[in-house]
């Protein structure tokens, strides 16, 4: 008498769903990894805020970029979480990850290379690129997530109905 062995493989009809889930996880990880590589590069290589008569250096990008990277990560996770479910959304979540990578790569280039603003008799140097590029990347990541979720609904949806996971009570 033989004992049945556990079958840990997906059934043929479940394979597209399993493949889509792995693709979703991979592209989510790629998007988050890209954000945090950008955060590290901006923190290390962006110019410092230089102020005072003794020209004290303050690595303003190292202080603020982590916050904006966290916001960008949360927004990307929220958007990708809403896209998960069917294999039909695969081009949309791949596109969202690629857009997030491009946005944060652009923010990295801007934060590191934009010139600093110099003012006063004791020249204060303000790196506007290092201060505003990560914030812009986080906000544009949120916009891309919103647009991708609108696009994922597709033209086959007749009317909008709440899914029940919003702040409103379900009727």
Domain boundaries, the chain: 32-152
The CA distance from 124 to 55, in Å, is 8
- pLDDT band at residue 80 under the 50/70/90 scheme: very high
**How many Cβ atoms from other residues are within 10 Å of residue 42's Cβ?**
28
> In sequence order, what DSSP letters do the residues of 34-64 get, joined into one string?
HHHHHHHHHHHHSPPEEETTTTEEE-HHHHH
The CA distance from 58 to 134, in Å, is 17
User: For position 2, what pLDDT does the model report?
Assistant: 62
Q: Is the pTM of this model over 0.85?
A: no
| Cross-strand bridge partners of residue 49 | 58
Question: Which of the pair, 161 or 40, is modelled with greater confidence?
Answer: 40
Average pLDDT along the chain: 84
Question: Which of the pair, 46 or 121, is modelled with greater confidence?
Answer: 46
Q: By the 8 A CB rule, do 125 and 50 touch?
A: yes
The CA distance from 96 to 78, in Å, is 12
User: For position 10, what pLDDT does the model report?
Assistant: 53
């Amino acid at each position: 008498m033989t004992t049945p062995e556990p079958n840990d493989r997906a059934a043929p009809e479940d394979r597209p769903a399993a493949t889509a889930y792995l693709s979703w996880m991979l592209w989510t990880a790629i998007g988050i990894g890209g954000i945090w590589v950008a955060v590290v590069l901006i923190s290390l290589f962006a110019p410092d805020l230089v102020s005072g008569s003794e020209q004290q250096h303050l690595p303003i990008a190292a202080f603020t970029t982590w916050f904006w990277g966290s916001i960008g990560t949360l927004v990307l996770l929220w958007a990708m979480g809403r896209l998960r479910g069917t294999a039909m959304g695969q081009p949309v979540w791949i596109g969202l990850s690629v857009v997030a990578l491009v946005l944060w790569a652009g923010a990295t280039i801007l934060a590191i290379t934009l010139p600093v603003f110099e003012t006063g008799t004791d020249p204060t140097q303000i790196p506007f690129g290092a201060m505003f590029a990560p914030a812009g990347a986080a906000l544009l990541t949120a916009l891309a997530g919103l647009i991708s979720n609108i696009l994922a609904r597709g033209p086959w949806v007749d009317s909008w109905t709440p899914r029940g996971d919003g702040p409103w009570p379900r009727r």
